[in-house]
Structure 1
Amino acid sequence: MFKFAPRNVVTRRRNKKAKIIIKNEDDDDDEETEEEDKLRKITREDNHIYFHAEVDRGSVFEMIEHLRTCELDNIVHAHNLCLDEIPIYLHINSFGGSLFDAMTAIDAIQSCKVPVYTVIEGSTASAGTLMSVVGTKRYMRPNAYMLIHQLSAGSWGKMAELEDEFTNNKVLMDKIKNIYREHASIPKKELAEILKHDLWWDFEKCKSYGLVDEEWKRT
């Protein structure tokens, strides 16, 4: 299991999984799932998509559905209004989640036929930052924060399986570094040190390292 979220979020997820296995009861899990569903909001208003959720298969699939319909609408509107293009604004507020699902989101964002501008809102960490940095333009609200760090993984099995897991982790960690190096301006040696820590960065810090381009002051 590869998770790319702050440690407290990963721990909560692991505990949740262990509780289901040990107690073999669904009541508590249903309560947690319902609470998470209340906090999960992926909506669209015109050419703005709001991704306020953990990065997982369901949330990314829902986001991609909005992305594709918005892409088609924007192409039609741009043609009707004789405009070159109408961008999609993807607002992100997420503590992160699954690395593989973040990669799926990245591919969808980068394959869009119209520009996708990302907007960091509230707090966005880990997998959520990977989604944001690949935007054509990257915005951040003045009171928002970003966190980038190493991936987290849990595994069990035979020695050979654990060795494979270590190799996989290294490959994925290299992929994470490459994304930040390609879409930000963090020096290679400094990036390795930064990723060892869980530190929240404000707009000025993020802009200085090339993680965002401009401050978002609109409503």
Structure 2
Amino acid sequence: MSRTNKPWYTLKNQSGNAELMIYDVIGDWAGLSARQLVDTLKTIDIDAITVRINSPGGSVFDGIAIYNALRYHPANITVRIEGLAASIASVIAMAGDTVQMAENALFMIHNPFGWVSGEADDLRRTAGMLDKARDSIAMTYSERCGLPVAEIVTLMAEETWFTAAEAKEKGLIDSIDKPVQLAASFDLSLFNHAPPVKMEPPAPKPATKTVKNEPEDIDALAIVRLCNQAGYPELAEACIRDKQNPDQVREKFQDCESIKSLCAAAHAPDLAAGFIQSANTVDEVRAALFEKLTANAPSVNNTLTPDQQQNIIKPLIDTAAVYRNRNGQTSPQTTQA
């Protein structure tokens, strides 16, 4: 999926109607967070909100928060699926009092997934959390379409893709609109059973002034998945913001492992997370650990007190006496005056 420099959502509050457009990966990036969106929705006192969706999904819990903010808003919510409503984006679509779908659009449901590193108990806790998230999402679909939760769970496990006609037949949407002309901007190969569907691009726009050395677009969802898989989900936002490609992100993971090794060798493994979160380089971490170790080392006082300086320190072994005894010599007589 290609990434544009546009924000993942826009919210326009016009007279009598607000329009929320979710047209990218859902989550905290490009300076916009789901919490900001939810907080803004709470302040909107308006009769109608239109939600336009073309998204492959994103953060499960961010999506659930957006769904709840829309579902319990006093305004009448109209959802228009204009291209793709996949994964958690399809859950947000269920918040509509009315759900419309373009004839050429796609709707996908599947099990939530994630990555975790740690001990067996950590893995079990994560598995339990994913099961609860799955059941909550299945109930959301079931409340709209009326299908039993058990049937929805089966469809989610199979990663089911619906055309507009199929989504309407299942009761997931209310009506089908005319086709919408959209650019094919999402890489559906990230999913397991995506159909071979390609949307026709819109008519070309008049040429505009080009900007040289414009940074290459970043595949945000791929970066998020990469960070989760490596066990560093906290790095995803910074990697996307800095427009790092997958190779650069993998190099960052190697630095993280080096930082963990340095902290472990310094008997300070708890410091690794802070160094990584602060984007410290390996050299900076090495210097910081060295300073910490030397700062904690006890100081050595090499000076002698005046009394110690006046005393003659006798050797533990009289080597001269040993030598005389070995050669059969006796100590010379001491003459006193």
TM over 0.5: yes
Q: For the Cα contact (< 8 Å) 1:147–1:201, is it kept in 2?
A: yes
Q: Against the structure 1 CA distance between its residues 59 and 117, is the aligned structure 2 distance closer, same or farther, given a 3 Å change threshold?
A: farther
Counting aligned pairs with the same residue, the percent is: 22
Task: Find the aligned partners of 2:92 and 2:57 in 1 and give their Cα distance.
Answer: 10
Task: Find the aligned partners of 1:189 and 1:111 in 2 and give their Cα distance.
Answer: 26
Q: How do 1:53-72 residues align onto structure 2 when only pairs under 5 Å count?
A: 53-57=24-28, 58-64=32-38, 67-68=41-42, 71-72=44-45
Q: For the Cα contact (< 8 Å) 1:92–1:124, is it kept in 2?
A: yes
- Give the number of aligned pairs: 174
Secondary structure of 2:52's partner? strand
Task: Find the aligned partners of 2:158 and 2:4 in 1 and give their Cα distance.
Answer: 26
Give the gaps of 5 or more residues in structure 1. 1-8, 10-31, 75-85
Question: Which has the larger strand fraction?
Answer: 1
Task: Find the aligned partners of 1:62 and 1:218 in 2 and give their Cα distance.
Answer: 32
Please report the TM-score for the alignment, with normalisation by the length of structure 1. 0.70
Residue 44 of structure 1: aligned partner: 12
Q: Aligned letter for 1:183?
A: R
Secondary structure of 1:171's partner? helix
Q: How do 1:1-219 residues align onto structure 2 when only pairs under 5 Å count?
A: 35-38=3-6, 40-44=8-12, 46=14, 47-57=18-28, 58-64=32-38, 67-68=41-42, 71-72=44-45, 74=46, 86-217=47-178
Task: Find the aligned partners of 1:177 and 1:193 in 2 and give their Cα distance.
Answer: 10
Task: Find the aligned partners of 1:123 and 1:182 in 2 and give their Cα distance.
Answer: 21
Task: Find the aligned partners of 2:130 and 2:72 in 1 and give their Cα distance.
Answer: 26
Task: Find the aligned partners of 2:7 and 2:165 in 1 and give their Cα distance.
Answer: 28
Residue 287 of structure 2: aligned partner: none
Report which of the two structures shows the higher radius of gyration computed on alpha carbons.
2
Give the deviation of 1:62 after TM superposition: 4.9
Q: Aligned letter for 2:8?
A: R
Q: Against the structure 1 CA distance between its residues 207 and 168, is the aligned structure 2 distance closer, same or farther, given a 3 Å change threshold?
A: same
Q: Aligned letter for 1:175?
A: S
Give the deviation of 1:61 after TM superposition: 3.8
Q: For the Cα contact (< 8 Å) 1:53–1:59, is it kept in 2?
A: no
Q: For the Cα contact (< 8 Å) 1:143–1:202, is it kept in 2?
A: yes
Q: Aligned letter for 1:67?
A: L
Q: Against the structure 1 CA distance between its residues 59 and 213, is the aligned structure 2 distance closer, same or farther, given a 3 Å change threshold?
A: farther
Task: Find the aligned partners of 2:74 and 2:11 in 1 and give their Cα distance.
Answer: 20
Please report the TM-score for the alignment, with normalisation by the length of structure 2. 0.47
Question: Which has the larger helix fraction?
Answer: 1
Deviations 1:51-102 (A, max 9, x none): 1121113353454366346x32x3xxxxxxxxxxx32111111100111101
Q: CA RMSD in A?
A: 2.5
Give the deviation of 1:205 after TM superposition: 0.4
Give the gaps of 5 or more residues in structure 2. 181-337
Q: Aligned letter for 1:37?
A: N
Q: For the Cα contact (< 8 Å) 2:104–2:179, is it kept in 1?
A: no
Residue 23 of structure 1: aligned partner: none
Q: Aligned letter for 1:44?
A: K
The answer to which structure, 1 or 2, has the higher relative contact order (CA under 8 A, 6+ apart) is: 1
